Amino acid sequence: MIQLSQIGELLLAEMFNGSEKVRQLFVEKGLLYTITTTDLRAIPEVQLTRCGKYRFDGAHKVDVVVIVQSKRECIAIEVKLGFD
């Protein structure tokens, strides 16, 4: 059986990229600051060494990364879906 925790990252990225309302929700809640929501793009399961002011060891993947394209910045999101 497939668990939500196995597909949650892909679901969130697809919802974010495919829906203006989902992108706007992130902006309205103060999670993202941008001039236009079309400037945002979500990518699931990304291996990073740097994201904005944060640095990563590059050995692990970030669940979902939202890229603010015009500012060349990103926001790392840890997705928690499932029963645990």
Structure confidence at residue 15 (pLDDT):
93
- Tokens found for residue 17: 């990229």
Structure confidence at residue 23 (pLDDT):
86
Structure confidence at residue 35 (pLDDT):
62
Contacts of residues 48-51 at CB distance under 8 Å and 24 or more positions apart, as own/partner, are 48/74, 48/76, 51/75, 51/76
Tell me if 55 sits within 8 A of 70, measured CB to CB: no
Structure confidence at residue 33 (pLDDT):
67
Closest by CA to 29, choosing from 39, 17, 38, 37, is 37
pTM of the complete model: 0.74
Query: Which segments of the chain have a pLDDT < 50?
Result: none
Structure confidence at residue 18 (pLDDT):
94
Structure confidence at residue 8 (pLDDT):
84
HSE value, Cβ hemisphere, 13 Å, CA-based, for 38 = 0
Task: Phi first, then psi: give them for residue 23, nearest 5 degrees.
Answer: -60, -45
| Type of residue numbered 6 | Q
